Homo-oligomer: A and B are copies of this chain.
């Protein structure tokens, strides 16, 4: 009998925002895999570190920081091979995913390689979007409003076109694209409605009006523009 592959959302950062289901599976799986940078600690593993029992086999999936698409695919091929061996031996494998597994998550690359051959289940988690909205203390959308979620990595003209027609918006993946996103929002007259949130749900959480945001933004930060009907 094969083991089961579990893609588990570990939430935005606060270990207490893990679901009961993720907590149970992490506490019982013999093998745990997670994305890791080529230097430093895995963010996903750090969130649940206190819940990992001793003696578990760990498979870090090391993505080189500036990998082009081709080498990253090789990394997933290799990780899928290691995970497939454990599944074939009858062991369940838990893959830790920041936020929610299928919301811009890299778990899809493992799922694509393994779900056809082994039992697989996705355990949804609290997304960064929910954590950011909670941190901002502002509802995001209400009634008939449309929410646009977009990565700041888009070309400037695409960002502007999308934001110009949005009722409510969340701009993700800021990092080195922060200045571009800020300039677009300013041009559209949206700065006054926009809130900047970094490290939502973590002790170093930052929340402020976009106009007061720091000069640089980490990758784990977001700008939200709540809908006009979502007032408090």
Contacts and interface: CB of A to CB of B under 8 A. Distances in A.
B149 A137 contact: no
B146 A147 contact: no
A139 to B, nearest CB: 4
Q: Number of copies of this chain in the oligomer?
A: 2
A185 interface: no
A139 B139 CA distance: 25
Contacts of A11: 19
Contact of A130 (B23, B124, B150): B124
Contact of A17 (B14, B19, B137, B149): B19
Interface string A121-160: 0111111011101100111111111111111011000000
Contacts of A138: 102
Interface string A29-41: 0000000000000
A139 B105 contact: yes
Nearest to A21: B16
B148 A147 contact: yes
A55 to B, nearest CB: 23
A154 B150 contact: no
A110 to B, nearest CB: 10
Contacts of A133: 100, 102-103, 122, 124
A190 interface: no
A102 B123 contact: no
- Indicate the member of A9, A101, A104 with the most B CB atoms within 10 Å: A104
Given A102-B134, A146-B148, A232-B111, A124 B19 contact: no
A230 interface: yes
28 contacts: A9-B126, A12-B124, A15-B20, A17-B19, A100-B126, A100-B133, A102-B130, A102-B133, A102-B138, A102-B140, A102-B230, A104-B141, A104-B142, A108-B230, A111-B232, A112-B232, A115-B137, A122-B134, A122-B137, A125-B126, A143-B151, A144-B154, A146-B148, A146-B150, A146-B151, A146-B154, A148-B148, A148-B149
Given A144-B151, A147-B150, 10 more contacts: A18-B19, A18-B20, A100-B130, A103-B133, A104-B142, A111-B139, A115-B137, A120-B137, A127-B130, A146-B148
